[in-house]
Every structure is written in C-alpha cells, then in structure tokens.
Amino acid sequence: MCPNSDGGNLSGMGFIRHGILLLTMPALLAACSAESPTLIVVEEHHHAWPAFERARASGRIEAGAVLVHLDAHEDFGEPEVSREIHADPDLASALADAELTVEDVVVPALFTGTVSTFYWVTPTWLDEPSREMMRQVGSVGGEGRRLRVGENLEDCSDHREFKERVLPIADLEHIEGRLILDIDLDFFACENPHAAHTDVEITREEYERRITAGQVLFAGTSEEGSGWTESTILRRPSGPFTWPVRLDRIVRFGGEVSYLRGFMCMGEYQDAFPVHRPSEDELRTLVTEVKNRLAAAKLDPALITIARSVQSGFVPADRVEVIELLVLEALRELYGELLPER
C-alpha cells in the first residue's frame, strides 16, 4: 500500500482518472514503497521504453530485468536514430518523442541491457506459435544508433545476447524475480490501422520530386507479364506513426508509364496485422482470463506499463475506455492499490 492512497492531500502532484490518483514520476517514487509495483500508463507504446530506463535509474529494477510483454504484436522494431541509444532516461524520453515509432519499445531496452530476457505473451485469439531461442542485439558499426536483432551479429561490435520466449497467455508460468509487466491494450481488442492505406496514383512531377527530396533506402526492378516496375523505397520520416514511402514507376510494353505512391508495411503487407473485435462480454472474459493467469503464475512486477495505442489506431477508440478500466480493476485486485503516473 502506498502512502496517501486514502485520499490525503497531494495537491500539485497529480490528477484523477477513472477514480485513481495519477502522479508525476517524482511524486510516485516518493509515495510508493520499494515493494509496491509502479503503474505507468502511456498513450503509445514506444513511450514505455523510457519508463523502463527510469525504473532502472531509480533502482526499482536492476539491469538485466525480465520483460513480460502482453501484446498482439511482438514490437521488435529496429530503430535508427540520430543519437546514440543508452540507458539515460532523459535521452530515452527525447528519442521516444522525436524519432521512435510504436514498434520501438523492446529492442532499445535489450540494447541498453535494461532487459535481458523477453517473454512475448500472446492472446488466445492470436495464432502465434510458441518458441524459445537465444538471440542477439547490437548496432551497425557499434555506433549505438542503428539497432539490429539477429541470431549472429558478429559484425556488430557491441552485440549482446538475450533470451526470447513466445507463448500464449494460457501457458504463462511462474517467472522468478522482480520484473516488468508490459501490457498493450490491443491484446484485448485490435485493429489494423494500415488496412485503409492503399496505393495512390501520382504525377511524374511528384514522383521525381519525392525521389529527389527523399533519402533513398533501396530500389529495385521487377518484371510483369505486361511490362516492368521500378520500385524505390524512401527512408521513414521522423515521427511515431510514419512508414517508409514506396514509389513505383510502372512501364507497360506498349509504352504507357504510370506512377504510384504507397507505403512499406501498409499496402502489400496490410494483411499481416491481426484484427480482433470482441464484444464487451468477450472483453470481460479475456481480462478475467489474464487476471487468473497472472495470479496463477504469481508474477512479482516491480513496474507495470500500459499502452493505450489509440492514436496509432491499434486499439478501437470507442472501446479503449472500457478496456483500460477493466484492466486497471484487474491489476488492483491482483496487486493492491496502484498509483499510476501518466
């Protein structure tokens, strides 16, 4: 139990959401005992990584922590940023604000060594095979700016090993030690925000202007029965909800030329993103199942993070409030009074 959780005077330290007092980080660390889990709610998932680093810096977790990640997606994005990634919480926050996207939550924490063991716990509705492996994380040239994940990163001088395990919530088992419990609300209801992104025909002038102005990531040519296509991929613009632009120059054997603008991981890959639209009764059943599985596993989280994932479009905007409320109620039943920071 945290001090002042009975409604005492904490003026200027936080505000109320869902009937729960939400504190700023300094106030939260001052208010809670070392044994109480800290609960941090973020709008988008990449802002959970700075929370991991703040927890390490404050001593709430130790380096090499276990991360238990309840999510409809693995979130194994390999960020490329302008400054070296390390465990400084302020730098992590600045990078998250300016340069990271929603899939860049896990790999930075593995790279800094804040996390060394990663559990991706999948929902019952997602058909994802279980697996366990040792992998490596490092950066291109050892510069700490372009992160990579693989089985053998000997060409990355700063590579380190980590353990990854993927398993459904039904198979969750006891994990020793104080850990990070990381929950994306799309675990319970999930949309594919990329489904509406389709290729758009553009003029030759726009095609040439974009290629001239953009940073070309790679280009290639493919042949079709009626002609051939030149595809150019530009680097992803900065910002949390942007994707690399794909530009196509399509040449028909009869001489006709057309130009398209699309997106990597939005057009041709849109079916790879899962969709789950449960009823409210089904939501309650899934939240109850998660609560029961967490209780049976007797997890001892030092830090709990929740990502709402509404702005990015992964959680239905008309369902997020009820999902968040159900999850917060379940966590209070499991871990007692929690004082989230937002």
**Which pLDDT belongs to residue 342?**
47
Query: Same domain, yes or no, for 156 and 176?
Result: yes
Residue-number span of the structural domain to which 114 is assigned: 14-193+273-335
Output the pLDDT for position 32: 41
Q: Is the pLDDT of residue 68 over 50?
A: yes
Predicted local distance difference test score (pLDDT) of residue 215: 83
Q: Output the CA–CA distances (angstroms, integers) from residue 87 to 117, 144, 199, in the order listed.
A: 17, 11, 39
- Asked if 214 and 235 count as a contact pair (C-beta separation under 8 A), the reply is yes
140: three-class secondary structure by DSSP: helix
Q: What pLDDT is stored for residue 25 in this prediction?
A: 38
Residue 7 lies in a domain: no
Does residue 279 share a domain with residue 267?
A: no
Which of 236, 271, 306 finishes a domain? 271
pLDDT tens-digit series, residues 160-207: 999 999 999 999 999 999 999 999 999 999 998 877 666 889 999 999
Given pLDDT bands bounded at 50, 70 and 90, which one contains residue 29? very low
pLDDT tens digits for range 6-26: 333 333 333 344 444 443 333
pLDDT higher than 90, residue 278: yes
Residue that wins the pLDDT comparison between 2 and 250: 250
Residue pointed to by tokens 């959970």: 48
Distance CA(289)–CA(243), nearest Å, equals 35
Q: How confident is the model at residue 294 (pLDDT cuts 50, 70, 90)?
A: very high
- Under 8 Å CB-to-CB from 285, ≥6 apart: which residues? none
Asked whether residue 86 falls in the same domain as residue 168, the answer is yes
Distance of CA 288 to the CA centre of its chain: 23
Structurally, how many domains does the chain consist of? 2
Spatial neighbors of 97 by CB under 8 A, at least 6 apart, are: none
If asked whether residues 167 and 255 sit together in one domain, one would say no
pTM of structure: 0.76
